[in-house]
C-alpha cells in the first residue's frame, strides 16, 4: 500500500512539474538567403570555412539595434539554420562557376590550394535596414599563410516595417556581403593560380 501511494505521489509531482513549464515559442516565419545572382569561376580550389561570429548573431535568432545602441532579438522571425551556416552555403553557391577549381567545405576532407577564413563583424538590423559587415581572409591551403584580406559591407532597406520585411532585408544584406567576398576570392585566386609570377 505504501509503495502504491509513493508511486502515485511521484506521478502527481511529475505532472505538476510538466504543467508549469512555459510553452516553447514557435516563430511565425523562418527565413533563408535568396539564391545568389552572380556565380564566380575559380582556377584553383578553395576550402570555405563557416564564418566566425558573436553568439548573438551566429545562431538562428535575428538581432536589431535600437536608437540607444542596445541589441534586442526580433520576435517571431528566425533563420532556417544558423546565420553562419547560411553564409557558408551561400559562399559555396557563389563560387560554383565553370573554372577548373572548386569551392568545398572542410567536411569533405578534400585538399585545396587556398582556404577562406572569415568573420561576421556585423549582421544586425538598424530600424528597417539590414546591415552586414564581413572580414574575409584568404590563406594558403598548405602553409595557412595569410595571402590577402578584405572587409566588405552591405546594407539593404526593408520593403515594409514588419518583422518579416526586416528579416528579408537582413537576408539581402547578407547575400550582398557574400557576393562581394566571393568576388574578392575569385579575383585573387584567378590572378595567382598559375603561380606567384602570373
Q: Provide the CATH number for the domain around residue 72.
A: 3.40.50.10610
User: What confidence tens digit (pLDDT) does each residue in 100-110 have?
Assistant: 999 999 999 99
Count: domains in the chain: 1
The confidence score (pLDDT) of residue 125 equals 96
| Distance between CA atoms of residues 48 and 41, nearest Å | 15
Question: Would you report the helix, strand and coil content of the chain in percent, each value rounded to 5?
Answer: 35, 30, 35
- Within-domain flag for 14: no
Quote the strand ranges of 49-94, DSSP E. Answer: 52-53, 61-65, 71-79
Question: What is the pLDDT, as a whole number, of residue 20?
Answer: 53
How far is CA 160 from its chain centroid? 23
Residue 41 lies in a domain: yes
Mean pLDDT over 156-184 rounds to 95
Instruction: Please tell me the predicted confidence (pLDDT) of residue 36.
Output: 80
Rounded to the nearest integer, the mean pLDDT of the chain is: 87
15 within domain boundaries: no
Answer with the residue of higher pLDDT: 21 or 88. Answer: 88
Residue 68 in this model has a pLDDT that exceeds 50: yes
The verdict on residue 144 lying in a domain is yes
Average the pLDDT over 124-151 and give the result: 96
Question: What is the extent of the structural domain holding 85?
Answer: 36-192
Residue 26, domain member (yes or no): no
Amino acid at each position: 500500500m505504501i509503495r502504491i501511494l509513493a508511486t502515485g505521489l511521484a506521478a502527481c509531482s511529475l505532472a505538476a512539474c510538466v504543467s508549469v513549464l512555459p510553452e516553447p515559442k514557435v516563430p511565425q516565419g523562418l527565413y533563408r538567403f535568396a539564391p545568389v545572382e552572380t556565380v564566380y569561376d575559380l582556377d584553383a580550389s578553395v576550402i570555405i570555412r563557416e564564418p566566425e561570429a558573436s553568439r548573438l548573431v551566429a545562431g538562428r535568432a535575428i538581432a536589431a539595434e535600437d536608437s540607444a545602441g542596445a541589441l534586442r532579438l526580433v520576435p517571431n522571425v528566425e533563420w532556417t539554420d544558423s546565420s553562419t551556416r547560411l553564409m557558408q552555403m551561400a559562399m559555396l553557391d557563389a563560387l560554383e562557376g565553370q573554372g577548373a577549381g572548386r569551392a568545398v567545405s572542410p567536411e569533405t576532407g578534400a585538399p585545396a590550394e587556398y582556404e577562406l577564413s572569415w568573420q561576421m563583424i556585423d549582421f544586425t538590423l538598424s530600424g528597417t535596414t539590414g546591415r552586414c559587415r564581413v572580414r574575409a581572409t584568404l590563406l594558403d591551403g598548405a602553409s595557412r599563410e595569410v595571402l590577402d584580406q578584405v572587409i566588405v559591407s552591405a546594407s539593404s532597406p526593408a520593403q515594409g516595417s514588419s518583422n518579416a520585411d526586416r528579416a528579408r532585408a537582413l537576408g539581402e544584406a547578407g547575400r550582398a556581403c557574400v557576393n562581394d567576398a566571393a568576388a574578392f576570392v575569385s579575383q585573387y585566386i584567378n590572378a595567382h593560380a598559375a603561380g606567384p609570377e602570373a
